[in-house]
Amino acid sequence: MFAEKGANLVLVARRKEKLVSVKESILAMFPNVSIRYELCDMTQVTQIDALVERLADTQVDIIVNNAGLALGTESGDRVAIEDVITMFNTNVIGVMTLTNRIAPQMRSRNSGDIVNIGSVAGSDHYAGGAIYCATKSAIDAYTDCLRMDLVETNIRVIGINPGLVSGTEFSLVRFRGDSQLASAPYKGLECLTAMDVADQVLYAVTRPHNVQIAQLNSYCTHQGHAKYVIARD
């Protein structure tokens, strides 16, 4: 969607094959857009620092912090501490680190948009999601506090918090490759899609300069809570 508007893109992820595929699919539709990709594990501060160094000559107008995952559905007192660390490093520390490294250039220009992809799970807490919900609650708080910290600048800080989104690897990762369990949360629903979420991001960053979308929560129709209020066919 950003490419459709003529934006130049920097794609960041761990897997080169995924980045190449996304780049090629975008260029097939929008051949005049400038796209570069960068390999980076967002759980590793040293890799984020190296990424920012490679982008030193690039003006970053919009950050979309989209890295995130859930691992398992164990009770909060039984989650492996290694999974706790991975979720917090990915969902929280990575977001804060990249923002910390890019924000100075935004401050120097007095412009920019910082978009954090959260989840309705940040406020819709549920059993079996203690750590994931905690990370998304942390992102909600960080987004709100950062907006206050930057209130005297023209930098906008935006939270996008979707409900159930199908067609991604999120659930497959959560259920450790078990496709049957991974598909269960989406059965009987026309869920949100990645394109729906992208549309919300584009909407937020294309508002007039005097409009700042603070937190945008969305569910698919027939969902009223992250887990407990859902009407399925």
185's CB contacts (< 8 A; 6+ apart) are 164, 171
| Of 158, 233, 159, 163, nearest in space to 196 by CA | 163
Looking at 5, 126, 136, 187, which residue is catalytic? Answer: 136
Asked about 37 being catalytic, the answer comes back as no
Looking at 18, 132, 187, 227, which residue is catalytic? Answer: 132
Structure confidence by residue, pLDDT tens digits, 128-154:
999 999 999 999 999 999 999 999 999
Structure confidence by residue, pLDDT tens digits, 4-44:
888 999 999 999 999 999 999 999 999 999 999 999 999 99
Confidence grade of residue 180 (pLDDT, cut at 50, 70, 90): very high
* pLDDT at 67 exceeding the cut of 90: no
How many CA atoms lie less than 13 Å away from 179 in the CB half-sphere?
1
The whole-angstrom separation of Cα 87 and Cα 36 is 27
Q: What is the DSSP letter of 90?
A: I
CB 73 within 8 A of CB 61: no
Neighbours of 129 (CB within 10 A): 22
The whole-angstrom separation of Cα 60 and Cα 53 is 13
Asked about 132 being catalytic, the answer comes back as yes
Topology (CATH) of 60-218: Rossmann fold (3.40.50)
* pLDDT at 177 exceeding the cut of 90: yes
pLDDT for 1 equals: 80
Domain edges within the chain:
60-218
The whole-angstrom separation of Cα 69 and Cα 107 is 30
